[in-house]
Amino acid sequence: MRAMTTVTSAVAVAAGLVAPAAHAEISIGVVNSLSGAFATFGERYRDGMQVALDEINENGGIDGETVSLVVRDDASEARNAITSLEELGGMDVPLVLGSYASSITGPMAQIANRREVPLVVLGSADDAITKPGSEWVFRAKHNTTIIGETYFDFFDAMRTAHPDTELQSVGMLYGNSAFPTALAEIARSEAEERGYEVVADNSYDQGVSDFRPILNNFLSAEPDILFLVNYADDGIAIIRQMAEVGLSASIIAIDTAAALPAYIEQTGDLSEYVVTAVDWSKDVQYEGTQDLYERLKAQSGAEPSFYEAEGYLALMVAAEALRQAGSTDRTEVREALDGISDFQTPVTSVTFEDYDGFQNQNPIQDLILQIQDGAHVTIYPEELSAGDPRFPVPAWSER
């Protein structure tokens, strides 16, 4: 039987309109964006966690005790997430998972550290969450540095494999919110270290819908690589307007937006050849990947993405910590999280490490997907890939 999952709005709780959830034997707190601007992503995390919850309970729960989730909707707002975490901190939950956006998870991490509540990051990739981090905050998924390095590892691989194709210059376009700005900073640093020239570097305010003036400037700069960091609607508008003005490059990389199956559905053939970095894909060569893919797809009723996999991963890590702790005492759970090493899942192997200024960060292997014939295909690294890169990207007039 599926364990009960209780969901309430942080606003309602703060107003005293909703009674606290009844706890099962072991309740895990979750703060997730189920409404508001990030609901598209929050719903995917919800589905991934539900698949993990079913798996955990079908296999005996935690030492025979059923697991349930006490879920709070932060409505895609940091203030609601803080209210939710404060509330969960006063309840009998041994740890909390949350949230999607870095602008939300960052403040949550500070509260978790202050209240000494173990926090497993659900979606945020901003380096600052675990660098310098806190002994109470753990992240199994990728961070901004891992994402940026993976892109440039791929660019380097293409430069080595195709010496006759010029790959020296980069044009960057990104939103001015926390994560896109942070990833652009990493990309800027990687470009300098690896000998690429950044010939165009533009941020934009969220809410902008006409990117053609910027894209026309990129036309004159003629970058060999286009590196874009955009959320869903922006990424869709940008690729349409790129085709309109005739802007292309040997590599077109679009982070975040292009990783969603809906991106392909909404942009059609325009999305062909676009590459994007993720930390899991349905065709990556890991044990158990296909089975997890089928379960995620059945849960959501649609094509899953790496977001569902990240939700699954976060809850599986939480359950493993509870098993190892043999207790719901928060200090003992934190110590168990700190001790997780080589924990194998169909998403990735998890070892929480302190390295390069990071604390409690899993050094996960990221992947590069390319959209080929209307589907995401893992093309890098070669040993995990399901297909070959299609390179270089042809001009729009030659497609």
Residue spans of the domains in the chain: they are 5-142+285-361, 145-278+367-398
- Asked if domains 5-142+285-361 and 145-278+367-398 share a fold, the reply is yes
| Single-letter residue type at 180 | P
For residue 54, the surrounding DSSP H or E stretch is helix 39-58
Note the pLDDT of residue 32. 98
Task: Say how far apart CA 203 and CA 66 lie, in whole Å.
Answer: 47
The CATH code belonging to domain 145-278+367-398 is 3.40.50.2300
Note the pLDDT of residue 177. 84
Topology, domain 5-142+285-361:
Rossmann fold (3.40.50)
Measured CA distances, 154 to 161, 182, 251, 320, 364 (Å) = 10, 19, 10, 33, 16
Task: Say how far apart CA 208 and CA 16 lie, in whole Å.
Answer: 38
Task: Say how far apart CA 311 and CA 46 lie, in whole Å.
Answer: 7
Residues 6+ apart with CB under 8 A from 186: 127, 144, 145, 147, 148, 149
Helix (H, G, I), strand (E, B) or coil at 55: helix
Instruction: Please give the full DSSP string across 84-121, using - where no structure is assigned.
Output: HHHHHHTTT-S-EEE-SSHHHHHHHHHHHHHHT--EEE
> Distance from CA of residue 321 to its chain's centroid?
21
Measured CA distances, 119 to 79, 122, 136 (Å) = 17, 9, 6
Note the pLDDT of residue 179. 85
What predicted TM-score, i.e. pTM, was given to this entire model?
0.91
Question: Mean pLDDT, 10 residues at a time, over the chain (399 residues)?
Answer: 49 38 74 94 96 97 96 97 96 96 93 97 94 97 97 98 96 92 96 98 92 96 97 92 98 95 95 98 92 97 95 98 97 98 97 98 97 97 96 96
Cis peptide before 381 (omega within 30 of 0): yes
Task: Say how far apart CA 144 and CA 294 lie, in whole Å.
Answer: 28
Beta pairing, strands 67-73 & 5-9: parallel
SS3 content of the chain, % helix, strand, coil (to 5): 45, 20, 35
Note the pLDDT of residue 3. 53
For residue 10, the surrounding DSSP H or E stretch is helix 10-14
Task: Say how far apart CA 19 and CA 130 lie, in whole Å.
Answer: 33
Instruction: Please give the full DSSP string across 219-255, using - where no structure is assigned.
Output: HHH--SEEEEEE-HHHHHHHHHHHHHHT---SEEEEE
